Amino acid sequence: MTKFEKYHPILTDHYTLDWLTNSPLKNSHALLQQLPQLAAQTSDYAHTAQFIQGQMLAIMKNQRLLWGITQRSTGALVGVARILPRQLSTTTTQTGAQASAPTTAQALTASPTATEKTAEVPPALGASLAVWPSTALVPAQQAALFLEITRHLTAFIFVELGGELIDMAASNLTAAQQTSLRTLGYQVTPGGSWQIQRQVKWQA
């Protein structure tokens, strides 16, 4: 598996995504205090340093990706983006009356005695994506950042990470952000979150 630590910096048209360790602590602290999702965990410099260190350890372990978003025209930190990867499926046991229906991949590779064995199915990758613009930005700037970063990271998850499904929590999304998600092809699930599935099988 590719090491997550290599995924920086990432450049979009107007922004640079990089580890928060590459920004002064006071700047990171000021940004994180502007994000309702992270403010409670970063109430002072000590907690901010602890939070950033914890995020970097998780990145090194391939457990998540978290970047500070810098607007290149001003050099200011203006948001945070996070990807939490997860497996969509695990080893499936095709045994007994309670066995689940085989997937297409399993059916194509099944042997005549497959129902008597444990089928090893490569786990599909899903990811939870979060893009949090700074509340110090005016609404139009927040909307522009959200659209550009979400578009870029959606493609990044599908193409670079090989993801099959992306979801985004609905909490704290503005009307403009929800419109951006619809524009990008995301749909609301019965549970209230937003999701998009990869439609094209990319070849390396």
Q: Cα 196 to the chain's mean position, in Å? A: 12
Full pLDDT tens readout for the chain, 204 residues: 579 999 999 999 999 999 999 999 999 999 999 999 999 999 999 999 999 999 999 999 999 999 999 999 999 999 999 999 998 864 322 322 333 333 333 333 343 344 334 444 456 899 999 999 999 999 999 999 999 999 999 999 999 999 999 999 998 899 999 999 999 999 999 999 999 999 865 443
- The alpha-helical segments, DSSP class H, found in 72-202 are 104-109, 139-155, 175-184
CATH numbers and ranges of domains, the chain: 4-91+121-197 (3.40.630.30)
Neighbours of 19 (CB within 10 A): 19
- Rounded to two decimals, the pTM is 0.81
